[in-house]
Amino acid sequence: MTTSPPHAPLPGTPPRPQPAADGLVSAARRNLREIAHGLSHPSHPPVPPLANASKRWRRLLPYAAVLILAAIFVPVTLNVLTNEYGMAEGLAGLLAVAQTAPLLMLAHRPLQAWWIIFPADIVGALVLLQYPEPLMGIWPWPPPTLICYLFVLLAVALRETRRTAISVWALTSVASLVLHLGGTDRSNGTAGLLPAFGVVFMVIGAVIRERGDAQRRLAEQETISEAERAQRTLLEERTRIARELHDVVAHHMSVITVQADSAPYRISGLPEQAHEEFAAIAASARESLTEMRRLLTLLRSDGTEGERAPQPGLDRVQQLVEATVRAGLPAELSLSARLPDVPQAVDVSAYRIVQEALANVIRHAPGARTRISVTSDGAHLTVLVVNDRAEQPDSPLETSGTGHGLVGMRERVRLTGGTLDTGPLPDGGFRVAARLPLTPATPEAPEDS
C-alpha cells in the first residue's frame, strides 16, 4: 500500500500561487494606483502665476514684457537685415523700427500694433526681393520678423475677440501665399512657416484667454455666492432677533396691558383720574404691542407680509395727539375736515411724520407747547408740526439725538415725491413741514454721497 506525501497536491488540482508572488503583485498594483491618483489629483489647488504679487506689479508686468521684447528685437532685426540680407543701414533701420517698435503697443492695443507691423513686414519682404538671396535662404519673413509677428498674433488672440483673431491669421496666411506665388525665384516653402506657427500661437493665446475668462466667471460666482451667504446670514440673524424680541418684549407688554386693565378692579377706591390714566396706559401698551408685532413680521420675512399688515393713517392722528396730551405734552391738532382722497403711501407717511415729530418733542423739548396742522390745497397735503421752546430746557429726556428720526422723515417724503423742511425757530422752538403730493409722482433719486 502506497501513501502520498503529506503536502502533495491531489491529482488534477492546479498548483496554488506562491504567497510571496501574490504580495508583490498586490503591492505593485497599489503603487500604480497611488501614482495615477497623484498625477491626476494635485495635492494643492492650482494657483495662478503671480497670484500673490501686488496689483501694481501685475499691472506693470505686460508693459515690462513688451519693453523687453522691443529692446531685444530692434537691434537684432537691424543686424540681420544689414549683415545677413545686405540691406543698406538707413533703409534697414527704418524697416527694423517699423517692424519691431510697435511691439510696445501689444500690452494695451495689439490690433493697432498689427495694423502697423503687418504692412511693414510686407514692405520689407518686397524690398528684400531687390537684394541677392541670402545664405540662409529664408524669405519673405526673416527670422526676427517671424518671431515678432508670432508675438503679435499671441497678443491679438489674448486681447481681441475670436473672430478678430481668426481674421488676422487669415490675412496673414493670404499675404504669405501671395508672396510665395509672386516670388517664384525665392519661394522655397519658408513662406508657410508664419501661418503654421501662427496657428499654434493663436491656439495658445485662445486657451489662455478662455482659462482667464473661466477664472473670472468663477470669481464672480464666488462673489455672488458670498453675497448670498451674507444675505442668508442676515436673514437668519433678523429671525433670531425677532424671536428674542417676541419672547421678551411681547411678554412684558402683555403683562403691562393686563395689569393696567385690571388695576381698577384689583385696587379699590381709585379716583376717576387714575382710572383714565390706567386706561391710557393699557391703550398705549396695546398699540405698542401691535406696532412691534408688525415690525417683527418685517424682520421674520422679506418684508412682503409686513407691507400687507394694517397701516395707521390720518384717521388715527387724532388718537395719536390725544395719547401725546395724556403723556404730558400740551398739543393742539388742526385737521382739515375737507381732505380729498389721500393715497395710501401719503396717508401712512403723514401719520409717521406727525408721530416722529411728536416723539422728538417729547425727547428733546418735554412740556413744550406743540401745534399740529394737516391741510390740503387739492394737489398737495401739508403736514406742519411746530413746537415752542421747552419750559425746562435744561432737563430734556435726551440731550443728543442720533438723527435717525429726521432721516426717516426725509426718506418717507422722498419716496412720495414730496419735500421736507425742518429746522429750529428764532424763539428756540422747532419746525417740521412736509409737503406731500396727492397725485402719483416720481420720487427724486437719492443724491450721491
pLDDT digits (tens, 9 = 90+) for 349-386: 899 899 889 988 887 888 889 999 999 988 899 999 99
Among the listed ranges 166-170, 221-225, 280-284, 307-311, which one has the minimum average pLDDT value? 307-311
Residue 68 has pLDDT above 60, yes or no: yes
How does pLDDT run across 104-138, given as a tens digit for each residue? Answer: 999 889 999 999 999 999 998 888 888 877 656 67
Question: Which has the higher per-residue pLDDT, 330 or 139?
Answer: 330
Residue 100 has pLDDT above 70, yes or no: yes
Q: How many CB atoms lie within 10 A of CB 292?
A: 16
384 backbone dihedrals φ, ψ, rounded to 5°: -125, 125
User: Per-residue pLDDT averaged across 266-294, rounded?
Assistant: 83
Q: Is the dihedral of CA 363, 366, 368, 371 positive or negative?
A: positive
Beta strand pairing status for 430-437 and 419-424? antiparallel
pLDDT value of residue 440: 64
pLDDT value of residue 414: 85
- Residue 371 within a domain: yes
Residue 86, classed as helix, strand or coil, is: coil
Question: Which has the higher per-residue pLDDT, 334 or 58?
Answer: 334
* Total number of domains constituting the chain: 2
Per residue, the 3-state secondary structure of 294-363, as one string, reads HHHHHHHCCCHHHHHCCCCCHHHHHHHHHHHHHCCCCEEEEECCCCCCCCHHHHHHHHHHHHHHHHHHHH
Q: Which of these, 186, 192, 202, 196, lies nearest to 153 by C-alpha position?
A: 202
- Residue 427 within a domain: yes
How does pLDDT run across 404-418, given as a tens digit for each residue? Answer: 567 778 888 888 889
How does pLDDT run across 7-45, given as a tens digit for each residue? Answer: 555 555 555 555 556 677 777 788 787 777 666 555 554
Q: How many CB atoms lie within 10 A of CB 186?
A: 19
Cell of 76: 537684432
- Residue 219 within a domain: no
How does pLDDT run across 71-95, given as a tens digit for each residue? Answer: 999 999 999 888 888 888 899 999 9
pLDDT value of residue 219: 83
Domain span at residue 144 reads 55-188
pLDDT value of residue 317: 92
> Of 188, 204, 226, which residue constitutes the final position of a domain?
188
Which letter does DSSP use for residue 82 in this model?
I
How does pLDDT run across 157-206, given as a tens digit for each residue? Answer: 998 888 999 999 999 889 888 888 876 666 666 778 888 899 999 999 98
- Residue 94 within a domain: yes
Q: What is the DSSP secondary-structure string of 222-259?
A: HHHHHHHHHHHHHHHHHHHHHHHHIIIIIHHHHHHHHH
How does pLDDT run across 387-399, given as a tens digit for each residue? Answer: 998 876 544 444 4
> Of 142, 167, 188, which residue constitutes the final position of a domain?
188
- Residue 44 within a domain: no
Query: Which residues contact residue 70 at a Cβ distance below 8 angstroms, ignoring those fewer than 6 apart?
Result: 100, 101, 103, 104
> Of 153, 188, 223, which residue constitutes the final position of a domain?
188
Question: Which has the higher per-residue pLDDT, 93 or 300?
Answer: 93
pLDDT value of residue 98: 93
Band the pLDDT of 435: cuts 50, 70, 90: very high
Percent of the chain at pLDDT exceeding 70: 76
Q: Which of these, 282, 373, 264, lies nearest to 323 by C-alpha position?
A: 282
Cα 94 versus chain centre, distance: 49
Residue 320 maps to which CATH number?
3.30.565.10
- Residue 284 within a domain: no
Residue 52 has pLDDT above 90, yes or no: no
pLDDT value of residue 432: 95
pLDDT value of residue 103: 92
Asked if residue 401 lies in contact with residue 370, where contact means CB atoms within 8 angstroms, the answer is no
Band the pLDDT of 222: cuts 50, 70, 90: confident
Residue 376, classed as helix, strand or coil, is: strand
Residue 279 has pLDDT above 50, yes or no: yes
pLDDT value of residue 246: 63
Which letter does DSSP use for residue 41 in this model?
S
- Residue 42 within a domain: no
Mean of the per-residue pLDDT values of the chain? 79
Asked if residue 242 lies in contact with residue 296, where contact means CB atoms within 8 angstroms, the answer is yes
Cis-peptide, bond into residue 393, ω within 30° of zero:
no
- Residue 13 within a domain: no
